[in-house]
Amino acid sequence: MAQLVGQMCVICRERIGNEIDSRFCSACGCPVHTACTSVAALQKTEGACRVCGAPATDVAPRRELAEQESEWQAGGKRRRRGGCIMAASVVFGLLGLMQFALANMRTLPTTDRHEARGNVFNGLVPVALGCAGFLLGLRQMSKKS
């Protein structure tokens, strides 16, 4: 988020000295003094922000910057979510692999094929789901807006 102090008020073109008597407009995102907002909103200039009264020349670029910032933040969240999915999938797949290996080591001496098939299934399903989850996480991380 941008810093308010030190920016210029888009209405009076004065430097904003503190955050107490100034804010970013909730509609257009322009930095404005609270006192300037009440005066400019009463004038109703065409093309100006209907909330703070900022001139149209300042409103359009600020909206574009706000949209770009929100897209960038959404991309970061998507990459983090993809990374979490990948990590969980790797752990899940490794647990399945361990179960598969341990179950087969336990049933190798026996000749009960039904038990061996069940253990193979119980081990390979988590491995397959882990691989699928890994690919899903990779896709989430590389997805464009």
3, 47: one domain: yes
pTM: 0.41
Residue 135 to residues 82, 90, 94, 125, Cα–Cα distance (Å): 9, 10, 15, 15
Q: Is residue 129 part of a domain?
A: yes
How many separate domains does the chain show? 2
How confident is residue 23, by pLDDT bands cut at 50, 70 and 90? confident
What pLDDT is stored for residue 68 in this prediction? Answer: 67
pLDDT tens for 76-99 read 676 778 788 888 888 888 888 787
Q: Is residue 62 part of a domain?
A: no
Q: 126 pLDDT exceeds 60?
A: yes
| Structural domain of 49 | 1-54
89, 134: one domain: yes
Q: Is residue 26 part of a domain?
A: yes
